[in-house]
Amino acid sequence: MQFKHPEILWALFLLIIPILIHLFQLRRFTKTPFTNVAMLQKVISESRKSNSLKKWLLLFTRLILLAAILGAFAQPFTSATTALQEKETVVYLDDSFSMQAKSNGISLLEKAVQDFIKNIDGETEFSLFTNEKTFKNVRVTDIQNSLLSLPYSYKQLNLNEISLKANSLFSQNSGTVKNLIVVSDFQERLAAGNTSLDSTLFAHFVPMQPLEIQNVSIDSVFVDDGLNEQATLQVFLSGGNEDGALPISLYNDDELIAKTAAKFKSNGEAEVEFTIPVNEQLNGRLSIIDNALGYDNRFYFNINSKEKIKVLAISESNSDYLNRLFRGDEFDFQKYALNQLDYSNLDNQNVVVLDNLTTIPSSLQNILRTFKNNGGTLIIVPSINSDLSSYNSFLSSLSATQFSENITSDAQLTTITFDHPLYRNVFEQEVTNFQYPSVKKYFKVQTSLPTALSLDGGDSFLSGDNGLYIFTVPLTLENSNFINSPLIVPTFYNMAQSSLQIPRPYHNLGEATTVDISVQIGSDDILKVSKEGYEFIPLQQTFPNRVRLTFDQNPTEDGVYSILQNEQTLQNISFNYPRTESQLKYLDIGTLENINTMDSVPELFEYLEAENNITAYWKWFVILALLLALIEVIIQKFVT
């Protein structure tokens, strides 16, 4: 038991005074009875015993009465240990797409918002944050409308990020009770990274679970151009029932152009194919009807007219390997000997390959430096008889790279840097039994560029990124069989592709995306990106023959967007929400430590209210004092 005014209890020591008085009044006196009063001795003795009992009863009654009065003034009460401490409340409300799942006909997010608004005290000040929004030091009436119209987000904070964000909203006062309320469906990816919460927080988790855990999603598409006038659009879905058929529709803008049914396998996956015209622009939208999550029932993609990558080779080699590598429809390839080169052709190229040149003239060096600075991609393949002073003069002006010496020694290319941008998506897994090419002569190199391919001694075979790639090995058949290796195709193809970031059929929101638009604009001109009701200006970098657009924070909505110059459409680009929440797999929060789990939002607030309750007993002490006063009256009247 606790007391609001415990200092009053010191007055209980004053109760010793009536005790002393009572003892003083009950002192025994020795009396000698006379003969003539001896007959009254028995009557007097009995009267004294009765009077003594009455005085003791009155003493105890009055002592307890005074103690009860003092207790009432001290105001005794009982409560939890945290009831008297100041409280701070921070709420994380999960508004991710998985909260679209339904429970009793409404989405989990709608139910969480309604329960929160109904149960929190209107006078309670708190802070609330979602995956993208933050409301600090507010009352529920301040943000009620915002919560009821809260949009879903494709972003999802994990537990570590939730803890860090909550700590930034709590004060630095160590004497307060910091309640963190987490309302979420707790998908497994919420536990990515460090799952431990700050031990100074009182964490209360409220899991929201749908009635049915099944969701069908359109995951991705792939366009196969084929060999004829028709291309194949492959669509991949997941989450369906085995042997179940789900209608799927294909639209070009708002026009329905095809419809079929997806049949699912035992693993819940399905694949359907549509036939579409080759080399025709298509603003595609795929659509299904599914009652679980709504965001992944549509998928946007687009097909633009293909833009060829312009590749120019300055070569003194008799080999035609470059002609074979860049002969496809994706490339516009030209090859010149050094003495036949028209330098003005370099201005319009995306890629320049220096192949087997003995020396690099200073006039060409100056033009190539300008070409590289303007965003072009430069690939350097040395000659066995390369003039190192000429090469080093050129390389030092581009990067901290120098050829040091010519090594004559048999070696093998044994190491592929699989996380290098050139090979990041080439291999399904790291290859260990690859038939690696051999080398007879190569140049040692000192460079700050990342190594993509290495020889067995650790020396670089190919280094570079960001538009500059340097081979240390002459690629003639007399020196190396690399040009006959399967590895040469993805190597040169990806180097060329990196020069012009052609829009893919679709991109995911939230991922950094770079797109090159082949257009010439003035210094004050800008490109805009828009769809109906939504327009923004992306980060852009201007080069002489193209503009590079970078998408990161924008857009925030899925759809097919138009890239505009002076309100004229240059081409289209599509964005989709990432499908990371489509698989409804939930975290077992029982495995987490230092948390308090509640079944519902109302139950949580009942618990918090009980934790804050203070049970006062002063009224019972007053009632006891009144009863004791009544008992004293009864004793005075009826005890003789």
- The pLDDT score that the predictor gives to residue 77 is 58
- What average pLDDT score do residues 332-355 get? 88
- The pLDDT score that the predictor gives to residue 437 is 87
pLDDT at 612 over 90: no
- The pLDDT score that the predictor gives to residue 194 is 67
Q: Write the pLDDT tens digit of every residue in 224-252.
A: 766 566 788 999 999 988 878 899 999 99
pLDDT at 558 over 90: yes
φ and ψ of 182, to 5 deg: -115, 115
Confidence tier at 84 by pLDDT (50, 70, 90) = low
Tell which residue, 550, 552, 553, 530, has the closest CA to residue 542: 550
State both tokens at 118. 């109904």
**Euclidean distance between CA atoms 76 and 616, whole angstroms:** 6
The per-residue pLDDT of the chain, averaged, comes to 84
Amino acid found at 483: I
- The pLDDT score that the predictor gives to residue 288 is 93
Q: In terms of pTM, does the model score above 0.75?
A: no
Does residue 145 come out as left (phi exceeding 0), alpha (psi in the -120 to 50 range) or beta? alpha
Domain 309-497 adopts which CATH fold? Rossmann fold (3.40.50)
Q: CATH 2.60.40.10 occupies which residues in the chain? A: 507-576
- The pLDDT score that the predictor gives to residue 1 is 63
- The pLDDT score that the predictor gives to residue 292 is 85
Q: CATH 3.40.50.410 occupies which residues in the chain? A: 87-212+584-612
Q: CATH 3.40.50.880 occupies which residues in the chain? A: 309-497
State both tokens at 556. 């925030």
**Euclidean distance between CA atoms 350 and 346, whole angstroms:** 9
- What average pLDDT score do residues 543-562 get? 88
Confidence tier at 260 by pLDDT (50, 70, 90) = very high
CATH of the domain spanning 507-576, picked from 2.60.40.1180, 3.40.50.300, 2.60.40.10, 3.40.50.1580: 2.60.40.10
**Euclidean distance between CA atoms 216 and 576, whole angstroms:** 16
For 120-129, 496-505, 576-585, which range has the lowest pLDDT when averaged over its residues? 496-505
Between 635 and 93, the more confident residue is 93
- What average pLDDT score do residues 82-98 get? 83
Q: Write the pLDDT tens digit of every residue in 410-455.
A: 888 888 888 888 887 777 655 555 677 889 999 999 988 999 999 9
- What average pLDDT score do residues 119-147 get? 91
- What average pLDDT score do residues 32-55 get? 59
Provide CATH code, domain 87-212+584-612: 3.40.50.410
Contacts of 20 (CB under 8 A, 6+ apart): none
| In contact, 546 and 515? CB cutoff 8 Å | no
**Euclidean distance between CA atoms 434 and 452, whole angstroms:** 16
Tell which residue, 211, 362, 305, has the closest CA to residue 503: 305
